[in-house]
Structure 1
Amino acid sequence: MTTMLRPAPPGAIPEPGLAKKPGRRTRRVLGYLALGAAAVAVLLPFYWMIMSSLKTNNDVFTIPVQWLPADPVWSNYADIWRKSEMSTWLGNTVLLSAAVTLLQVFTGSFAAYGFAKVRFPGRDVLFLAYIGTLAVPWQSYMIPQFIVMSKLELTDTLWSIIALQAFGPLGVFLMKQFYETVPDELIDAARIDGMSEYGIYRRIMLPLSVPALASLTLITLVTTWNDYLGPLLYLRSPDLWTIQLGLKSFINQYNAEYALIMTGSVLSVLPIVVIFLAGQRYFVEGIATTGLKG
């Protein structure tokens, strides 16, 4: 037995979902197109850099642009290691990035636990004063800082960069925002069971804050890897140069070797891109959860 569909009576109001569905779909398609265009605009320079690293010097700036080299020159990646101290520069950069990242993650998460879950007089004022240092540009106090490092005889050593960047207010802010999403009842129950504050931090807070820790790790790692001004001030010996200083000296020495310059740029960017893509899921999740509260 079939059921006949009756037409809607004159003047009937259509269902809201049916009226809004075509418009909503159109907006979604336009949004995807806009995001795709933005992604292409962001990724296009990186694609051109990679393709230029596989060209000869004469083909890098040809008009019209060759987006795909006809005969890739893979030997550029061997020549850059032979003509420069790429292994030394990358080794110093990896060492500094790893040391600074580990220290900032530890100090930032540990201090954030105190500000978020430990009650002591002047806690909020101290936190605001510490976070307020984010508004002070480093250029305004880098000269007094350099004088202090000189008196401590830490200039021209990797220890100067590690000591200066071992603490960061941004990490404390991010981790505190995440710790505030952890219920206080969980912390109080651990204290009633006799667990110390250090035990709560190590056994409860750290396992729960993996996404936030991953976000802080990626942010610190990228910032330290791309730092140029700090190593420029404190690292004078060529055997202590990072990849940023090394590439600058290489450009000055081989300013006509455009393909090799692009090859060095690819090698300097590639490790950090791989690390970011590997931890992208945790990074997005950590950034999203640090904006929530309680």
Structure 2
Amino acid sequence: MSETYGTEPGRSGTVPRRRRLSGATVSLAIGGLLMLAPFVWMFSTSLRPTSAPVSVPPQWLPSSWDPGNYARLASDDYPVFRFLRNSTLVSLMSTAGIVMTSALAGYAFAKLEFRFKNALFGLLLVSLMIPIQVTIVPLYVIMGKLGLIDSPWALVVPALLGAFAPGIPGAFGIFMMRQFFRGTPDALLEAATIDGAGPVRIFFRIALPLAKPALAALTVITFIMSWNDYFSPLIFLNTTDIMTLPVGIQSLRPPFGQQSSLVMSAVTVALVPVLLVFVAGQRWIVQGFTRSGLNE
């Protein structure tokens, strides 16, 4: 509900005058509640006894509450927190690799001059339209030659190559950083050049500090996509001890036994880090996209 301000007769200053709720506001509120419905069902299901069946239509509130499902996840019988640790390590390392390579490549495409720059950037944009399923086979062969199959490094090493990282926005990150660096004043970089600074020093001492909003936004986006990546860990990881959380939750079938309440408890645990990262970085996401989008 928005407020407008106006001056009433006989009074100095402004007083708030409330508007009625518009149809668009009501529609958005209803849409938001509908999108929250699956999360409400997920959380309520996580509090049901493990023996309770899944009912159709959904039962929004359990007839009996059993918060012990979360305690079971911490036991040695269900290695969910091991999956959580694996996902954290892989996501942090992949995010660091993507953000650094995207910043370096984006700055090069925005401010440096070299042969075939436009053609290479065009190929980079074309790669955004290539689905991961097309590149996963040659990438699997390369990881096999390097002896990295069934190792977390099979997910991290491609991230160090930026645009070739499966499941996370390598090419998109380069495009985003390139758009941001195009808005950096050339006069500022030229002044540093006159003072004797080289391209590397200009990048790390001037351009990179100015790109904090875009870097923060890209970090949040990359971390969330890496955390939620299911396809790549499913292909590269086979051992339970090194599985990431999306694939590990799927393994809550035999030998652990498929129990809907236990699975929903694990999904709730997996959702918490993503929500925390998004809430902490949503301001940077908006600011980074806004500043990047202003540059033609």
Coarse TM-score class (shorter-chain normalised) = 0.7 to 0.9
Q: Is the 8 A contact 1:251 1:261 kept in 2?
A: no
Matched, 1:180 2:149: no
Match of 2:280 in 1: 278
**Residue 10 of structure 1 aligns with which residue?**
none
CA positional deviation for 1:46: 1.0
CA contact (8 A) 1:178 1:293 kept: yes
Q: CA deviation at 1:268?
A: 1.1
Equivalent residue number for residue 266 of structure 2: 264
Aligned to 1:220: 222
Give, in angstroms, the shift of residue 131 of structure 1: 2.4
Return the alpha-carbon distance in structure 2 between the equivalents of residues 267 and 249 of structure 1: 15
Residues 248/124 of structure 1: CA separation in 2 closer, same or farther (3 Å cut): same
| Secondary structure of residue in 1 paired with 2:238 | coil
What is residue 203 of structure 1 aligned with on the other side?
Answer: 205
Question: Structure 1: where are the runs of 5+ without partners?
Answer: 1-24
In the alignment, does 2:94 pair up with 1:100? yes
Offset from partner CA, 1:130-150 (integer Å, 9 cap, x none): 222111112112212211211
Are 1:80 and 2:73 matched, yes or no?
Answer: yes
For the aligned residues, what is the CA RMSD? 2.2
Q: Could you tell me how far 1:81 is from its partner in structure 2? A: 2.1
| 8 Å contact from structure 2 (residues 228, 246) kept in 1 | yes
Question: 1-side partners of 2:114 and 2:197: how far apart?
Answer: 19
Q: Which residue of 1 aligns with 2:166?
A: none
How far off its partner does 1:178 sit?
0.9
Contact 1:52–1:60 (CA under 8 A) maintained in structure 2: no
Give 1:72 shift.
3.5
Give the aligned partner of residue 236 of structure 2: 234
Amino acid at match of 2:206: I
Deviations 1:155-176 (A, max 9, x none): 1111111112221211100111
Amino acid at match of 1:235: L
**Cα 1:142/1:256, change in 2 over 3 Å:** closer
Question: 2:150 is matched with which residue: 149, 152, 156?
Answer: 156
Cα deviation, 1:194-215, whole Å, max 9, x if unaligned, reads: 1221222112222211111111
Q: Is 272-281 or 141-150 further displaced after alignment?
A: 141-150
Task: Output the CA distance in 1 between the equivalents of 2:126 and 2:56.
Answer: 50
Partner of 1:20: none
Answer with 1 or 2: which has the greater Rg: 1
Aligned residue in 2 for 1:49: 42
Aligned 1:87-166 pairs, distance under 5 A: 87-166=81-160
DSSP-derived class of the 1:169 partner: helix
| TM-score normalised to structure 2 length | 0.85
More displaced, 204-213 or 106-115? Answer: 204-213
In structure 2, C-alpha distance between the alignment counterparts of 1:48 and 1:54, rounded to whole Å: 10
CA distance in structure 2 between the partners assigned to 1:137 and 1:63 by the alignment: 36
The answer to whether the 8 A contact 1:88-1:239 is kept is yes
Question: What is the TM-score when the length of structure 1 is the normalising length?
Answer: 0.85
Separation in 2, partners of 1:60, 1:29: 42
| Structure 1 CA distance for aligned equivalents of residues 258 and 81 of structure 2 | 22
Quick one: percent identity of the two aligned structures?
A: 35
Cα distance in 2, alignment partners of residues 41 and 159 from structure 1? 39
Q: Contact between 2:82 and 2:241, CA under 8 Å: does it hold in 1? A: yes
CA distance in 2, matches of 1:60, 1:182: 58
The answer for the alignment partner of 1:13 in structure 2 is: none
Q: Say whether the 8 Å CA contact 1:92–1:241 is kept in structure 2.
A: yes
Counterpart CA distance in 2 for 1:250 and 1:256 is 5
2:8 equivalent in structure 1: none
CA distance in 2, matches of 1:240, 1:50: 27
CA distance in 1, matches of 2:27, 2:93: 40
Shift in CA distance, 244/63, structure 1 to aligned 2, threshold 3 Å: closer
Compute the displacement of 1:226 (Å): 1.0
More helix, by proportion: 1
